[in-house]
């Protein structure tokens, strides 16, 4: 699922918009285009991140970074996560 449809919109074809868990999706209403999978067109960043299979959105990451300035335990585990990220990235 992507934030936008990979293909250009089909002129003259009606769309249906759905709101599910804070994410707005679009899909074609009429056959044969109704077989095309729905795509994300907007919504809440947290909902979009979850719909795309991400652990959290960017604002949550920013919140964790700010909180780690005052929380040594959180800072320690974020540092460990960053170390693990770089180790796994080097091993690719």
Looking at residue 65, what is its pLDDT?
A: 96
17-23: long-range contacts, CB 8 A cutoff, minimum separation 24: 17/41, 19/43, 21/47, 21/50, 21/51, 22/46, 22/47, 22/48, 23/47, 23/48, 23/51
Banded pLDDT at 92 (limits 50, 70, 90): confident
76: pLDDT strictly greater than 90: yes
Looking at residue 80, what is its pLDDT?
A: 97
Q: pLDDT by residue (tens digit) across 16-40?
A: 999 999 999 999 999 999 999 999 9
What pTM, to 2 d.p., does this model score?
0.69
């Amino acid at each position: 699922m992507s934030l936008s449809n990979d293909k250009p919109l089909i002129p003259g074809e009606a769309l249906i918009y759905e709101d599910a868990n804070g994410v707005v999706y679009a899909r074609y209403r009429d056959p044969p285009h109704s077989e095309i999978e729905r795509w994300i067109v907007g919504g809440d960043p947290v909902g979009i991140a979850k719909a795309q299979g991400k652990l959290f959105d960017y604002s949550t990451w920013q919140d964790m970074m700010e909180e780690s300035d005052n929380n040594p335990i959180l800072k320690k585990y974020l540092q460990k996560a960053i170390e693990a990220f770089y180790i796994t990235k080097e091993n690719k």
